[in-house]
Structure 1
Amino acid sequence: MHPTLIACSHGTSSPDGQAAIAALVSAVAARRPDLDVRAAFVDVQEPSIGPVLEDLEGVPTRVVPLLLSAGYHVYVDLSEAVSARPAATLAGALGPDPRLAQLLADRLDAAGLRDDDTVILAAAGSSDARAVDDCRDLAEALGQLIGRPSPAAYLSAAEPRLDAAVSRARATGGRVVVATYLLAPGFFADLAARCGADVVTPPLLLPTQPPPEALVDLVLDRYAG
């Protein structure tokens, strides 16, 4: 019997964000009908990870964080929840991963990226230095794909802040384009959209579009370990 896959996301009060994450979980389940796939959340939404694991007491379980970098929620919240359940294991966060960089590059291309645009990667931010390092690694990978620097800036908890980075980039002339390194619509995506850039790409998941196959692949790869 395959371990149950618990797809654990942050949670959001945004209906669009909720729909986008639910679509990803559904796509993972559709790709692997042999798996028991369940959703859980670390904040805002229910069910939280604790009750889901309790419901599966004694059942082999693999928790896959639907999080782009590994910060407090992975190293503390999910690690503690899983460590209390001998039958459960914890996968790594989704990022950094070359497929995420490619998805961001595709978003920039679809947005009409120009040769003289200045690009900034917008991430949620974290007080955990390891999560910030993850974002910097992803920004470097994106820069290699698009042939120019795409430094990371943050919406909370880390420096530089996105609005400040956009303001500084304006001094160089040309358009400022923000690559939104967020999984789904919600509070942070709304902040990114108001950062003052000329172009802001949408999050990686949208309620009006099927989840990218690369994201489904990534979730299942993390599950497989």
Structure 2
Amino acid sequence: MIPLVAVAHGSRDPRSAATVRALARRVSAAAPELDVRVSFLDLSEPLVTDVLRDLVREGHRSAVVVPLLLGSAFHARVDLPALVAQVPGLRVTIADVLGAALSDVAFDRLAAVADVDDPSLGVVLAAVGSSRAAANEAVASLARSWQARHGFRAVAAFASAAKPDVPAAMAKLRARGARRIGVASWFLAPGLLPDRIASQARAVDPSVALAAPLADDPRVAELVLERYATALAGAVRSA
């Protein structure tokens, strides 16, 4: 079978890479016939270019790269295609990012720590943030969909590159009548930015409910395989 190369952003925090590797093991366990390899864009090893070059050396002619990314921002749209282009001799198909398909996972993580049926709850959906407005709007749209579906107040917040930050989002929710705050995680893995969000939220409200990142939910591994299969089918049709 054509190898699946899972590529995450990478982080100086070793918990992040460890979480990504654990996710890859779950993907492998669900599809033991599939060659699943872990890679990173930056900051962690192995880099995606190194993994793709390994495949070329081993005689592979094709690969499917599945971005372990939640948004279609600079890393997905620019960085990853540019890195793939650095490796000749391999036909690489890049799958879609994981994105909004993980909405239910993020919501369930929130529900594990906060009473989502409480009408006084305010929810911050915390994400990394991007210089691309459309990527930030996708997070804000997800927060609005939760609000419409579940009845609690919900706003997006960002760790960097975009506004509002978490304290500002919490203040907005308080102004709209929220008496309790839950912070939902739009991150796959623990790391420096999720820690920053947690610290900021606790500084405002020590009783804030903080949801866990998403990667160790079984549905994430299932989605990785779905993205692989969809990309592979498209590659076959275009061949």
The structure that has the greater radius of gyration is: 2
Matched residue, 2:4: 5
Query: 1:173 offset after TM fit, Å?
Result: 4.6
1:152 aligns with 2:152: no
AA at the equivalent of 1:128:
R
Q: Distance in 2 between matches of 1:91 and 1:55?
A: 20
Query: 1:30 offset after TM fit, Å?
Result: 0.9
AA at the equivalent of 1:143:
Q
Matched residue, 2:184: 179
AA at the equivalent of 1:109:
A
Q: Please give the residue correspondences for 1:39-78 in structure 2 after superposition, counting only pairs within 5 Å.
A: 39-57=38-56, 58-78=60-80
Matched positions, count? 217
Q: Distance in 1 between matches of 2:199 and 2:7?
A: 28
Matched residue, 2:24: 25
Matched residue, 1:191: 196
Matched residue, 2:130: 126
Q: Distance in 1 between matches of 2:21 and 2:172?
A: 37
Q: Distance in 2 between matches of 1:195 and 1:65?
A: 28
AA at the equivalent of 1:193:
A
Q: Distance in 2 between matches of 1:30 and 1:144?
A: 37
Q: Distance in 2 between matches of 1:173 and 1:82?
A: 46
Structure 1 length-normalised TM: 0.89
CA offsets 1:88-141 (integer angstroms, 9 cap, x no match): 1101110022xx211122122211323311111001101122321332233234
Matched residue, 1:95: 99
Query: 1:145 offset after TM fit, Å?
Result: 4.2
- Change in CA separation of 1:36 and 1:129 when aligned onto 2, cut-off 3 Å: same
CA offsets 1:190-213 (integer angstroms, 9 cap, x no match): 0111123422212113xxxxx212
1:200 aligns with 2:202: no
Q: Say which structure is richer in helix.
A: 2
Q: Distance in 2 between matches of 1:173 and 1:105?
A: 18
Query: 1:143 offset after TM fit, Å?
Result: 2.9
Could you list the runs of 4 or more consecutive aligned residues of structure 1 that deviate by over 4 angstroms after TM superposition?
none
CA contact (8 A) 1:180 1:192 kept: no
AA at the equivalent of 1:49:
V
Matched residue, 1:16: 15
Query: 1:144 offset after TM fit, Å?
Result: 4.1
Matched residue, 1:137: 141
- Change in CA separation of 1:30 and 1:176 when aligned onto 2, cut-off 3 Å: same
Q: Distance in 1 between matches of 2:134 and 2:2?
A: 28
- CA-based RMSD of the aligned residues comes to 1.8
1:80 aligns with 2:85: no
Structure 2 length-normalised TM: 0.84
AA at the equivalent of 1:74:
A
Structure 2: 5+ residue stretches without partners = 231-239
